[in-house]
Amino acid sequence: MDIVKKHAPITGEQIAEMLNLTRPTIRSDLSVLVMLDYIDAKPKVGYFLGKRAISENENKIRLLDMKVGDVHSVPVVVRETTTIHDAVVTLFLENVGHLIVTDEEGRLAGIVSRKDLLKVTLGNASASTMPVSFIMTRRANVITVSPEDTVLEAARIIITHQIDSLPVVVPAPSGGEGEWNVVGRISKTNIIKMLLETLAEE
């Protein structure tokens, strides 16, 4: 298929020659590819890509070009002053693995995870009244993506860092360097849903 894609229209003899094979050797393979619509053949012209190959190629290009801004979901946000008790309630009500923590102006301050909340609450009765800012991962150590980043890049970051989701941020209009407004979150679920929807369109 790669040969046909690069050199179409191309004859069976030319394909065989490029593969260092004889035409009869590849005849049945070419017939199967034509039957499955991956390649098409015109008498006295040669082989070229079929509808199925073109469709799959278009889907691949679309997937590679898909931006975080096209698929991210609404962020689940709490303020720095939110108590650990309220954060735990929010975490379970929203059924997420992380909460994004913002300051009073809505700028990214940090992230708090299930593990963070579990560690601080086990055997510590007074922890529930503490603010989440005491236990969150601070902004400087939070990995983020922008709406213009590709979904592929977001997926790579999620896999590399073994995390469930990433805050989607844009520069804060009134902030200095490293000041971000949170506009969404992208998770493994968002990415899988996008893949399934793209495949279902075929």
User: Mean pLDDT over residues 45-70, rounded?
Assistant: 73
User: What are the strands, taking DSSP E only, across 2-43?
Assistant: 39-42
Other CB atoms within a 10 A radius of the CB of residue 97 amount to 15
57 is a domain residue: no
What CATH number did the domain enclosing 17 receive? Answer: 1.10.10.10
Q: Is residue 90 a contact partner of residue 76, using CB atoms and an 8 Å limit?
A: yes
The total domain count for the chain is 2
Confidence at residue 82, expressed as pLDDT on a 0 to 100 scale: 95
- Cis peptide upstream of residue 9 (ω within 30 degrees of 0): yes
Same domain, 166 and 78: yes
- Cα separation, 22 vs 136, in Å, equals 66
95 is a domain residue: yes
Confidence at residue 27, expressed as pLDDT on a 0 to 100 scale: 82
Cβ neighbors of 91 (< 8 A, separation 6 or more) are 99, 114, 117
Same domain, 119 and 21: no
Confidence at residue 3, expressed as pLDDT on a 0 to 100 scale: 81
User: Mean pLDDT over residues 179-189, rounded?
Assistant: 91
Q: Is residue 30 a contact partner of residue 47, using CB atoms and an 8 Å limit?
A: yes
* Residue at 119: amino acid letter: K
62 is a domain residue: no
Same domain, 142 and 101: yes
CA dihedral 70, 75, 80, 85 (to 10 degrees): -160
Q: Considering Cα of 51, then 57, then 60, then 61, what sign does the dihedral take?
A: negative
176 is a domain residue: yes
Same domain, 24 and 97: no
Q: Which of 34-43, 59-68, 149-158 has the highest mean pLDDT?
A: 149-158
Measured over all CA atoms, what is the biggest interatomic distance in the chain, rounded to whole angstroms? Answer: 83
180 is a domain residue: yes
Same domain, 163 and 92: yes
169 is a domain residue: yes
Q: Which of 9-13, 17-21, 87-91 has the highest mean pLDDT?
A: 87-91
78 is a domain residue: yes
pLDDT tens-place string over residues 94-142:
988 899 999 988 899 999 998 898 888 887 878 889 999 999 999 889 9
Kindly report the pTM of this predicted structure: 0.68
33 is a domain residue: yes
Same domain, 85 and 110: yes
What CATH number did the domain enclosing 108 receive? Answer: 3.10.580.10
Residues 51-62 as b or e (16 or more Cβ within 10 Å = b): eebeeeeeeeee
Structural domain span for residue 41: 2-52
Same domain, 38 and 72: no
Q: Is residue 176 a contact partner of residue 151, using CB atoms and an 8 Å limit?
A: no
DSSP-assigned letter for residue 164: S
Higher pLDDT, 53 or 8: 8
Same domain, 110 and 29: no
